[in-house]
Amino acid sequence: EAWVYATTFYSGSDNIQKASSVINTDAKYLPGDSQILKLKKAIDLKVMIGPYQSLCDLADSAYNSKKYNEAVRYYSELLAKKPEFTEVRIYRAFCYFFLKEYSKSNQDLDFVIFNGVSLSSVYNQRGINYVNLRNIEEACKNFKIAADMGDKEGLSNYSKICKSEKK
């Protein structure tokens, strides 16, 4: 608990390097602690984003203002500098979805999945994109994966779209 408190304190004091050092020690001595692993992931992301924070803020502001073309531009600029920003790639995929560029959205989601991110919401969104691309078979595969991972929307989409297709 003391390590978690110290990490949180340093992070809140904008001393992200010290927070990173503490949480890495935490993870070394308590490698199975889910609270420490979750905090470590958040701190690692802050360390990685640090030099690009202003660009991230511009991208997020454009996204939140529903200026998706502008957000895509900023997210693409970030990804040119740091292609491993999977969270950024997910946001860009949603921008492409809102812009009705479903193939581009799926390219980003495919990249995320290929690089080991396994989120039910990613599979569900990929399924929605496939529905819009009129590829129901691929949509159903993705909805099924999302549903099997416990995603309620994935289950709902699978029930509505895939079961009605089989009738």
Q: What is the mean pLDDT of residues 18-45?
A: 76
Q: What is the mean pLDDT of residues 141-165?
A: 92
Q: Which of 66-75, 112-121, 155-164 has the highest mean pLDDT?
A: 66-75
**pLDDT score for 36:** 73
Least confident among 14-18, 52-56, 60-64, 73-77: 14-18
Structure pTM? Answer: 0.75
DSSP notation for the chain: -HHHHHHHHHHHTT-HHHHHHHHHHHHHH-TT-HHHHHHHHHHHHHHHHGGGHHHHHHHHHHHHTT-HHHHHHHHHHHHHH-TT-HHHHHHHHHHHHHTT-HHHHHHHHHHHHHTT---HHHHHHHHHHHHHTT-HHHHHHHHHHHHHTT-HHHHHHIIIIIHHHT-
**pLDDT score for 54:** 86
Q: What is the mean pLDDT of residues 1-5?
A: 71
Q: What is the mean pLDDT of residues 6-23?
A: 74
Least confident among 65-69, 71-75, 98-102, 113-117: 113-117
**pLDDT score for 167:** 44
Q: Using the predicted structure, report yes or no on whether residue 166 has a pLDDT greater than 70.
A: no
